[in-house]
């Protein structure tokens, strides 16, 4: 990746731990997308919001296409062809201007109610529109404004985006011919090209912005301000739009699993070794030369992955949640030695911190480098631990933090995650074998299938 960075004055903002309700910044932010249609703006918006929410910043996407559809044909959006977007169509322009004002009103209401980052997902392709946003957001409200422009002249990426995403848009629900949809959407793009003005520090020196070229092959940054914008730049520099598959799985059954003990660094059992062989057969059968296997530094993940062919990397960051003084104990022993801890943990599992150990909140902060590297890779197999994989699934599947510690991550099962439009499809592939678990009480909340004391 080629990177050009031009940095203006930076304001120091104290970083907070993810999950804490206090704001990371005293000033709300509006992140405004810029770019022609089919350039991945909504994809970037959704990914950016997912990341910011995952690290604890209250973020919401405001998609102007959805607002516009609510004002055309009873909210269904059907029948809006490319002529609606022609710059010479006064009725279309009137509706689009009204949509912009309505969306901005909702943005301001939400930010004033405690929101931190609003992502304004629209084309914003003219200097005039961006001047309007600057006046309304910065001058009138005193909020921060940061533009993110997606520029793509790779026609294969644009064509793939149109056929993969736009043909299923609500705008075209009444059209069954995909080629007709593609043709209409390309004409819509041409209408925007007529007026398109890329962000320019010479013409708009007062703005802060970032440009992303061809799905992340190159980025440039101009005059970004503060902690939140720095985090956004860091994340988007690692983002790419290529299709890939992520495989997540827990290590094979360990000796501590079999005895119902927490944490530790025990070896895997014979049952776990059988799973290790089954997992290798499955991953090796993919015959993917780009596959890379990640494990923690703990023996049970390394032993589980030992038969998988290809490149492997060990991450200390992927080690299981630190159980502190509870490490190596059974549930009964924890209850005896630390009265009240189990009840406190069940009351707020995300925020609960083991005595001398970590919480899920801490784990999310620890996982950020893994997330960044995961976004850069093609095919990745993560052989990890239950709590760690829950955090990764929470990010990839956009699970709220209070539900994250209860995500089901079954033993001896591969979780296959495939990108679809703006999210991921989860498929669980049970490889086996099934192991006889020790008798342990179930969680007091949602029933979670586990084979050992749940972290």
* CATH code where residue 319 lies: 3.40.50.1240
92 inside domain? yes
Cβ distance 138 to 145 under 8 Å?
A: yes
Cβ distance 445 to 346 under 8 Å?
A: yes
Last residue of a domain, one of 169, 202, 237: 237
452 inside domain? no
58 inside domain? yes
Element (H, E) at 103: helix 90-112
392 inside domain? yes
18 inside domain? no
Distance CA 23, CA 14 (A): 10
Last residue of a domain, one of 196, 219, 237: 237
> What's the length of the chain?
455
Residue 21 makes CB contacts below 8 A (sequence gap 6+) with none
- 203 and 62 share a domain? yes
CA angle 446/390/434 to nearest 5° reads 75
Distance CA 58, CA 28 (A): 10
User: Cα separations (Å) of 420 from 46, 160, 426?
Assistant: 12, 13, 10
Q: Within 13 A of 25's CA, how many CA atoms are on the CB side?
A: 24
- 178 and 288 share a domain? no
Query: Scanning the structure block, which residue is given the tokens 């005059």?
Result: 223
Query: Scanning the structure block, which residue is given the tokens 């703005």?
Result: 207
Query: Scanning the structure block, which residue is given the tokens 């104990």?
Result: 329
The total of other beta-carbon atoms located within 10 Å of residue 195's CB is: 13
What CATH code is carried by the domain that includes residue 28?
A: 3.40.50.300
The total of other beta-carbon atoms located within 10 Å of residue 59's CB is: 22
153 inside domain? yes
Question: Which residues form the domain of 52?
Answer: 24-237
User: Cα separations (Å) of 153 from 63, 158, 188?
Assistant: 23, 8, 16
Q: Give the residue numbers marked as catalytic.
A: 121, 152, 251, 320
pLDDT digits (tens, 9 = 90+) for 192-250: 999 999 999 999 999 999 999 998 889 999 998 889 999 999 999 988 766 789 999 99
295 DSSP β-pair partners: 314, 383
- 260 and 356 share a domain? yes
- 121 and 257 share a domain? no
- 167 and 259 share a domain? no
Secondary structure class of 220 (helix, strand, coil): strand
- 325 and 398 share a domain? yes
Specify the pLDDT at position 378: 85
Secondary structure class of 173 (helix, strand, coil): coil
354 inside domain? yes
- 176 and 104 share a domain? yes
Tens place of pLDDT per residue across the chain (455 aa) = 444 433 333 333 333 333 333 344 579 999 999 999 999 999 999 999 999 999 889 999 999 999 998 887 654 444 568 898 998 999 989 999 999 999 999 999 999 999 999 999 999 999 999 999 999 999 999 999 999 999 998 888 888 888 887 777 777 777 778 888 889 999 999 999 999 999 999 999 999 999 999 988 899 999 988 899 999 999 999 887 667 899 999 999 999 999 999 999 999 999 999 999 999 999 999 999 989 999 999 999 999 999 999 999 999 999 999 999 999 999 999 999 999 999 999 899 999 999 999 999 999 999 999 999 998 888 999 999 999 999 999 999 999 999 999 999 999 999 999 977 677 899 999 999 988 654 333 343 333 333 346 77
- 326 and 426 share a domain? yes
Last residue of a domain, one of 237, 271, 306: 237
What's the domain count of the chain? Answer: 2
- 81 and 119 share a domain? yes
């Amino acid at each position: 990746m080629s990177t050009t960075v031009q940095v203006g004055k930076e304001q120091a903002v104290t970083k907070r731990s993810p999950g804490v309700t206090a704001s990371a910044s005293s000033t709300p932010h509006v992140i405004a997308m810029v770019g022609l249609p089919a350039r991945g703006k909504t994809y970037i918006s959704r990914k950016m919001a997912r990341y910011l929410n995952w690290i604890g910043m209250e973020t919401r996407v405001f998609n102007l296409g959805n607002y516009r559809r609510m004002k055309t044909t009873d909210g269904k959006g059907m029948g809006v062809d490319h002529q609606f977007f022609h710059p010479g169509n006064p009725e279309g322009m009137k509706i689009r201007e009204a949509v912009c004002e309505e969306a901005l009103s909702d943005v301001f209401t939400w930010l004033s109610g405690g929101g931190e980052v609003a992502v304004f997902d629209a084309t914003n392709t003219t200097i005039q529109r961006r001047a309007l946003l600057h006046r309304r957001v910065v001058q009138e409200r005193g909020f921060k404004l940061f533009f993110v422009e997606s520029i793509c002249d790779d026609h294969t990426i644009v064509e793939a985006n149109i056929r993969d995403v736009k043909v299923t848009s609500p705008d075209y629900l009444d059209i069954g011919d995909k080629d007709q949809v593609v043709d209409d959407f390309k004409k819509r793009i041409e209408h925007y090209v007529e007026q398109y003005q890329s962000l320019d520090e010479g013409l708009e020196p007062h703005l802060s912005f970032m440009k992303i070229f061809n799905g992340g092959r190159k980025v440039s940054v101009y005059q970004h301000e503060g902690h939140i914008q720095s985090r956004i730049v860091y994340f988007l520099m690692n983002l790419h739009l290529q299709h890939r598959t992520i495989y997540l799985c827990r290590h094979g059954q360990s000796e501590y699993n079999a005895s119902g003990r927490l944490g530790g660094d025990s070896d895997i059992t014979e049952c776990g070794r059988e799973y290790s062989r089954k997992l290798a057969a499955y991953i090796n059968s993919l015959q993917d030369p780009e596959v890379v296997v990640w494990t923690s530094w703990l023996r049970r993940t390394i032993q589980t992955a030992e038969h998988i062919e290809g490149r492997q990397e060990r991450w200390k960051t992927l080690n299981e949640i630190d159980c502190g003084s509870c490490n190596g104990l059974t549930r009964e022993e924890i209850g005896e030695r630390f009265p009240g801890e189990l009840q406190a943990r069940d009351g707020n599992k995300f925020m609960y911190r083991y005595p001398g150990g970590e919480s899920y909140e801490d784990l999310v902060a620890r996982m950020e480098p893994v997330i960044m590297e995961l976004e850069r890779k093609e095919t990745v197999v993560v052989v990890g631990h239950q709590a760690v994989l829950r955090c990764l699934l929470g990010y990839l599947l956009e699970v709220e933090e209070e539900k994250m510690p209860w995500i089901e991550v079954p033993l001896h099962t591969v979780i296959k995650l495939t990108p679809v439009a703006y999210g991921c499809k989860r498929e669980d592939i049970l490889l086996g074998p099934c192991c006889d678990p020790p008798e342990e009480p179930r969680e007091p909340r949602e029933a979670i299938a586990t084979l050992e004391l749940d972290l």
